[in-house]
Amino acid sequence: MNELKGIGASNGISKGKAYILKDNMPEIKEKKIKDAKKEIKKFEDALEISSKQISLLKEGAIEKLGQEKAMVFDAHLGILLDPEMDSQVKSKIESEKVNASFAVMTVAETFKQMFLSMEDDYMKERAADVSDVTTRIIKNIEGIEIKDLTLIDEEVIIIAHDLTPSETSQLNAKFVKGFVTEIGGRTSHSAIMARSLEIPAVVGTGSDIFNIKENSNLLIDGSTGEILINPSEKLITKFNKKAIELEEKKKIEATFKDKESISKDGWKTKVAANIGSPADIDAVLKNGSDGVGLFRTEFLYMDAENWPTEDEQFEAYKKVLESVDHKIVIRTLDIGGDKKLNYYKFPYEMNPFLGYRAIRLQLDKLDIFDTQIRALLRASVYGKLAVNIPMIATIDEFKAVKERFAKIAKELKSEKIKIGEYELGIMVEVPSVVEMADKFAKHADFFSVGTNDLIQYTFAADRMSEYVSYLYQPFNPAILRKLKTIIDASHKEGKWTAICGEMAGDPLLAPVLVGMGLDEFSMSATSILEIRRLISEINKEEAQKLVDKVLDVETDTEVKALIQKFLDDNKITI
More confident residue, 466 or 430: 430
- Interval 89-97 mean pLDDT: 93
Q: How many CA atoms lie within 13 A of 496 on its CB side?
A: 16
Under the banding of pLDDT at 50, 70 and 90, the label for residue 338 is low
More confident residue, 167 or 434: 434
Q: Is the pLDDT of residue 461 over 90?
A: no
- Interval 443-453 mean pLDDT: 94
What pLDDT was estimated at residue 122? Answer: 46
Q: Is the pLDDT of residue 65 over 80?
A: no
Q: Is the pLDDT of residue 139 over 70?
A: yes
Task: Name, in order, each residue with C-beta under 8 angstroms of 202's C-beta and a sequence gap of 6 or more.
Answer: 6, 7, 8, 9, 178, 179, 180, 181, 220, 221, 222, 225, 226, 227
Whole-model pTM: value is 0.73
pLDDT in tens, 324-335: 999 999 999 998
H/E stretch holding 77: helix 72-80
As a whole-number percent, the residues of the chain with pLDDT over 70 amount to: 95
What pLDDT was estimated at residue 121? Answer: 42
Neighbour-count burial of 213, counting CB atoms closer than 10 A to its CB (0-12 exposed, 13-18 middle, 19+ buried):
exposed
- The overall average pLDDT reported for the chain is 89
Task: Name, in order, each residue with C-beta under 8 angstroms of 183's C-beta and a sequence gap of 6 or more.
Answer: 161, 162, 203, 204
Under the banding of pLDDT at 50, 70 and 90, the label for residue 126 is low
What pLDDT was estimated at residue 293? Answer: 95
pLDDT in tens, 167-181: 877 788 889 999 999
Q: Which residues on adjacent β-strands are paired with residue 327?
A: 384
What pLDDT was estimated at residue 119? Answer: 45
What pLDDT was estimated at residue 386? Answer: 98
What pLDDT was estimated at residue 278? Answer: 85
What pLDDT was estimated at residue 118? Answer: 53
Range with the largest mean pLDDT of 4-18, 135-149, 547-561? 547-561
- Interval 155-167 mean pLDDT: 85
Q: Is the pLDDT of residue 185 over 80?
A: no
How far apart CA 210 and CA 191 sit, in angstroms, is 19
- Interval 480-489 mean pLDDT: 98
205-209, 300-304, 319-323, 366-370: segment of lowest average pLDDT: 300-304
- Interval 65-94 mean pLDDT: 82
Under the banding of pLDDT at 50, 70 and 90, the label for residue 504 is very high
- Interval 268-282 mean pLDDT: 89
134-143, 285-294, 307-316, 331-340: segment of lowest average pLDDT: 331-340
Under the banding of pLDDT at 50, 70 and 90, the label for residue 120 is very low
How far apart CA 235 and CA 3 sit, in angstroms, is 11
- Interval 509-524 mean pLDDT: 96
Name which of 535, 486, 10, 459 is nearest 220 in CA terms.
10
**Residues annotated as part of the active site:** 189, 500
The CA-atom distances, in angstroms, between 279 and each of 68, 257, 288, 381 are 11, 20, 16, 21
Under the banding of pLDDT at 50, 70 and 90, the label for residue 299 is confident
